[in-house]
Structure 1
Amino acid sequence: MSQIVYGLHAVQSVLKHQSSSVIVLWYDKKRQDQRLQRLLTMAQDYQISCQPAARSQLDQKADSDRHQGIVIEVKEQQQLPLEDLLDTLSEPALLLILDGVTDPHNLGACLRTADAAGVHAVIYPKDKSAGLNATVRKVACGAAEVIPSYPVTNLARTLEQLKQRGIWIVGTAGEAEQEIYDMDLTGPMALVMGAEGDGMRRLTRESCDYLAKLPMAGTVSSLNVSVATGVCLFEMVRQRR
């Protein structure tokens, strides 16, 4: 199977980290700027076929007009099973679990934040969740190609397996009694963020060891999931430094 990736940052990340997966590259034949030329030179160094195309053709291939003049087709890459990845860690695990985030822009933003925070892997359910599509990759600005992501069939079962490995599960919920800033987040941890609007599902909530909330001083009752993810992850980073 193959996927479409578009946008300067996303394509650059694929060329840098997964060049062997690229089947073909298409570029806007009218675009002559240095940023695009650098990517074409990079692709040619890897002996990747670079084909000029009209902008309308790129719109069609990307199913979007936000491709910035470059589109690639890539083969799906195999990655380490999650269990094997955890075995390779030389520091306490830091995982991000997204319970049903359906907006690809939010998923992409969460991946970008997770990469910046040094998260070891992102886990999300296969069903009723955004997948790793071209929009997600574009918004993630290259993070989707470097951070391991695992769509799982049964999220509650996966959480139990993580707990058996000594990883503490911290879920976020507005009604939690503890604030995230009052918790010890220095050990092996998995942070669970709920879906837009609905929050965590019941089975996910019941699988958490702890629930945490962010203090909300204003009139709004909650933050966008990608913003809340950033706040929580970087509190974990701060405590681990």
Structure 2
Amino acid sequence: MMSAPSRPRFQNRRGRPDRDGPPPHRPGEIDEAILYGAHPVIEALRNPNRRFRKLLATENALKRLTEEVGELPLVPEMVRPSQIDRLLTPDAVHQGLYLVCDPLPSPDLDSLPDDAIVLALDQITDPHNVGAILRSAAAFAVAAVIVTIRHSPAATGVLAKSASGALEHVPLVAVKNLGDALDKLGERGFLRLGFDSDGDVSLDEVPLRRPLVLVMGAEGKGLRQRSRELCDHLARLDMPGAIKSLNVSNATAIALYAATRR
């Protein structure tokens, strides 16, 4: 699957630019989450499972926030937009809101419902893509998104902004080894459906059932060998146009639409 252009800068866990590479903390390891922008912050403040540390807000943003949320669970600190600008990369659109909170807990695989549709992401590293996938997952009532502790972006900053509040509605299940997780889901009766632009069968031809896990491959590289071997089917999305592969977040949205309609 084709990848979106990568960004040259990343954020560290304090929300400041880190030009040396991606943050060291991963989905199962971060010790705080940085959320900015209207939708991520509003949805987080509505989430009773969040624990909050600090909220920075401009005067106009605070008015909108109180209209949307009502009584806030913490006292905000009024700031100028430039004060938030200094905490983020130049291209970050914060809309006057910056929230520091505890990361959400990662549930266990055993907690997934027996009739669930879940996603498994095989080393998808672009936070924009993972955020967009989470947004689609929330739209299609996905029970959880499985990611690896390593080789996955942290659930903060750019990912949270791209998810547009979906982090509060779709749990991230962080596992050490995706192959072991797929093996365990297979033992529980999950149909494991991997996606590849050169898959052996069209998605339309696969007899779907629940519980179901859709396994999406990394940008450019696709599914790793063990992930492929553990899938019950390797499916492709048949498209009539000249381009046969899609960005992984777009492919995930189409796969979820097709799977949930059936």
TM-score (norm 2): 0.82
- 1:71 maps to which of 98, 104, 112: 98
Deviations 1:147-182 (A, max 9, x none): 111121111001000001011110001222210011
**Aligned-residue RMSD, C-alpha:** 1.9
Higher helix share: 1
- 2:126 maps to which of 97, 103, 112: 103
Checking the alignment, whether the CA contact within 8 Å between 1:18 and 1:145 is kept in structure 2 is: no
- 2:63 maps to which of 20, 29, 37: 37
Partners of 2:97 and 2:79 lie apart in 1 by 9
Partners of 2:51 and 2:126 lie apart in 1 by 26
How many residues align structurally?
231
Match of 1:17 in 2: 47
- 2:159 maps to which of 136, 140, 144: 136
Residues 51 and 19 from structure 1, CA distance in 2 versus in 1: closer, same or farther, beyond 3 angstroms? farther
Stretch deviating more after TM superposition (46-55 or 137-146): 46-55
Partners of 2:49 and 2:86 lie apart in 1 by 23
State the SS of the aligned residue for 2:192.
strand
Residues 68 and 165 from structure 1, CA distance in 2 versus in 1: closer, same or farther, beyond 3 angstroms? same
Match of 2:74 in 1: 48
Residues 22 and 44 from structure 1, CA distance in 2 versus in 1: closer, same or farther, beyond 3 angstroms? farther
State the SS of the aligned residue for 2:189.
coil
Residue segments in structure 1 that go unaligned for 5+ positions in a row: none
Checking the alignment, whether the CA contact within 8 Å between 1:96 and 1:123 is kept in structure 2 is: yes
The sequence identity of aligned pairs, in percent, is: 35
Checking the alignment, whether the CA contact within 8 Å between 2:107 and 2:173 is kept in structure 1 is: no
Partners of 1:217 and 1:159 lie apart in 2 by 31
Q: State the Cα distance separating 1:47 from its structure 2 match.
A: 4.2
Q: State the Cα distance separating 1:217 from its structure 2 match.
A: 2.1
- 1:152 maps to which of 175, 180, 186: 175
Partners of 2:181 and 2:259 lie apart in 1 by 22
Q: State the Cα distance separating 1:231 from its structure 2 match.
A: 0.7
Residues 36 and 179 from structure 1, CA distance in 2 versus in 1: closer, same or farther, beyond 3 angstroms? farther
Deviations 1:123-161 (A, max 9, x none): 011222222121111111110111111121111001000
Whichever residue aligns with residue 13 of structure 1, its letter is E
Partners of 1:110 and 1:51 lie apart in 2 by 32
Partners of 2:236 and 2:227 lie apart in 1 by 16
Any residues of structure 2 matched to 1:111-130 within 5 Å, and which? Answer: 111-130=134-153
Partners of 1:157 and 1:229 lie apart in 2 by 22
State the SS of the aligned residue for 2:55.
strand
Residues 49 and 104 from structure 1, CA distance in 2 versus in 1: closer, same or farther, beyond 3 angstroms? same
State the SS of the aligned residue for 2:207.
coil
Checking the alignment, whether the CA contact within 8 Å between 1:125 and 1:155 is kept in structure 2 is: yes
State the SS of the aligned residue for 2:46.
helix
TM-score (norm 1): 0.89
Match of 2:210 in 1: 187
Residues 67 and 212 from structure 1, CA distance in 2 versus in 1: closer, same or farther, beyond 3 angstroms? same
Whichever residue aligns with residue 8 of structure 1, its letter is A
Whichever residue aligns with residue 219 of structure 1, its letter is A
